[in-house]
Amino acid sequence: MDIPAWKSSYRSGSFRGVGFVTEDHEASGGRRGPTHEFPQRDLPYAEDTGARAGRFSINIFVLGGDVFDQRDALIAALRQKGAGVLVHPFLGQIDVICRDWSLTESTSEGGIARFTIDFDEAGRALAGEISSDTAEQSRDIGKAAADAGLARFEAEFSVDNLPGYAVDGATFDVERFAKSALGAAGILGGAGKALRAFESGIDALDGALYLVYAPIRLASSVTAMVRGVAALGISPLLRLRALTRLFEGNATPRAVIGMTPVRIAERANAQSFSELVAVATASEMAKAISGVAFVSRDEAIMIRDTVALPLDEAATAYANLGRDDAANALDRIRHAVVRDVAARGSTLAPIGRYVMLTTAPSLVTAHRLYGHSTIAAREADLTLRNRIAHPGFIAATTNLEYLREVPRG
């Protein structure tokens, strides 16, 4: 039986990493501004001064043998200061402020605690509107996120006083990352100084058992290894391809089952290490995409999505784990990448499709598509874009790809 579309898009709900079950929800929005009515005029004028903040009212519950613990964890999350990440089952990940909540419990319905919660969209602080280099901004945001992730890992990760099996788990995470880095580098080749630097990084990670006892050195080795993978690529697109593979292979932390103190510590280490790799790799992905010279609007959109979609999925996964710092870091990088690609790709020509009705030379075909304007350059682009072996002879029924508009400066 086919799964309804809404069920395949439904997500498990959580706020600041505390999960819950959803009964129903309401959302509201709209536009702000006064409506002006004038004497002797039947038509009003509605002034649009911007979007209203989104508001979300959600009815949820927690239940089970540990219902009191779940209830108290959710109350603590709702009482925290500032914005938090809400994974809304129907609307996805949203930064929100909890404005109001109420709790209902009864002896006739034991083992369940029901909440009605009102959230407001948190948005972002207002900044002056200035022209800026979005590629440089994207690189700066990625670097800042990676630096913060490095400091966070050094403060959180520790195998001190943990038994051997927990240390082995941390060692496994490092070795898995090293193998993943080798796989990503394998599609790039590389030579010279970049290759020697990468090989030195792999040699450093071979001492995984020692490194897990030295979080600062481990973090430095991992981030250097990620940069080493990027340095092997001879073009931004090749770097992006390898880094995307590295990100997707390490964005999800190793699952650690159990609630003993040792398992909790082991799980926290696994999540910290995964976050370190994910944020460092996302930073390099933002750097790589900032160096891509897009040819068409369609190419810009396609490349944007290869980065934005996995970052969004990973941010949601970390939000569900209660790792808001990592979720927010990945989300900031994603926003920066999307803004950069939109700024540099929105004015480019979109791709069109043209089916040859009769056999004709590429110069004649270019004239049909573009007229006399820049026909020589357009004919050359048409030939290269479609890998036409014989420009003087394009067969009928050939499906051509072409730039539909000539970009204006």
pLDDT tens per residue, range 87-96: 888 887 888 8
Per-residue pLDDT for 63 more than 50?
yes
Top pLDDT among 28 and 369 is at: 28
| pLDDT confidence tier of residue 106, bands split at 50, 70 and 90 | confident
Q: What is the pLDDT of residues 289-303, one digit of tens each?
A: 888 887 778 788 888
State residue 102's pLDDT score: 92
Top pLDDT among 332 and 294 is at: 332
| pLDDT confidence tier of residue 254, bands split at 50, 70 and 90 | confident
Q: What DSSP string describes 97-140?
A: EEEEEEEE--GGGTTEEEEEEEEEE------------HHHHHHH
State residue 391's pLDDT score: 67
Share of the chain above pLDDT 70, in %: 74
Q: What single-letter amino acid sits at 5? A: A
Query: What residues contact 17, with CB distance under 8 A and at least 6 apart?
Result: 77, 85, 319, 320, 321, 322, 323, 324
- The pTM (predicted TM-score) of the whole model is 0.60
Query: What residues contact 264, with CB distance under 8 A and at least 6 apart?
Result: 258
Tally: H helices and E strands in the chain: 13, 12
| pLDDT confidence tier of residue 42, bands split at 50, 70 and 90 | confident
| pLDDT confidence tier of residue 190, bands split at 50, 70 and 90 | very low
Across 336-361, average pLDDT:
75
Of the candidate ranges 42-46, 166-170, 238-242, the one whose mean pLDDT is the lowest:
42-46
State residue 269's pLDDT score: 87
State residue 124's pLDDT score: 65
Per the DSSP assignment, residues forming a β-bridge with 353 are 401
CA distance 95 to 123: 7
Distances (CA, A) of 212 to 54, 141, 227, 266: 44, 28, 20, 12
CATH among 2.60.120.260, 3.10.440.10, 2.40.30.200, 3.30.420.40 for 5-31+53-121: 2.40.30.200
Across 99-106, average pLDDT:
90
For 342, which DSSP code?
A: H
| pLDDT confidence tier of residue 351, bands split at 50, 70 and 90 | low
Top pLDDT among 115 and 190 is at: 115
Q: At 355, which helix (H) or strand (E)?
A: strand 351-355
State residue 356's pLDDT score: 64
CA distance 98 to 119: 5
Distances (CA, A) of 217 to 15, 160, 199, 205, 208: 34, 15, 17, 10, 11
Across 121-132, average pLDDT:
58
b or e along 179-212 (b: 16 or more beta carbons within 10 Å of the residue's beta carbon)? Answer: ebbeebbeebebeeebbebbeebbebbeebeebb
Closest listed residue to residue 29, CA positions, set 119, 125, 116: 119
Per-residue pLDDT for 362 more than 60?
yes
Which residue is associated with the tokens 């109420």? Answer: 102
State residue 229's pLDDT score: 78
CA distance 243 to 307: 10
Q: What is the pLDDT of residues 223-247, one digit of tens each?
A: 888 887 777 777 788 888 888 888 8
For residue 166, the SS3 value is helix
Distant-in-sequence contacts of 374-382, Cβ < 8 A, 24+ apart: 374/406, 378/402, 378/403, 378/406
Query: What residues contact 140, with CB distance under 8 A and at least 6 apart?
Result: none
Instruction: Give CA angle at 333 (251, 350), nearest 5°.
Output: 105
b or e along 328-346 (b: 16 or more beta carbons within 10 Å of the residue's beta carbon)? Answer: bbbbbbbebbbebbebbbe
For residue 35, the SS3 value is strand
| pLDDT confidence tier of residue 100, bands split at 50, 70 and 90 | very high
Per-residue pLDDT for 195 more than 50?
no
Top pLDDT among 375 and 43 is at: 43
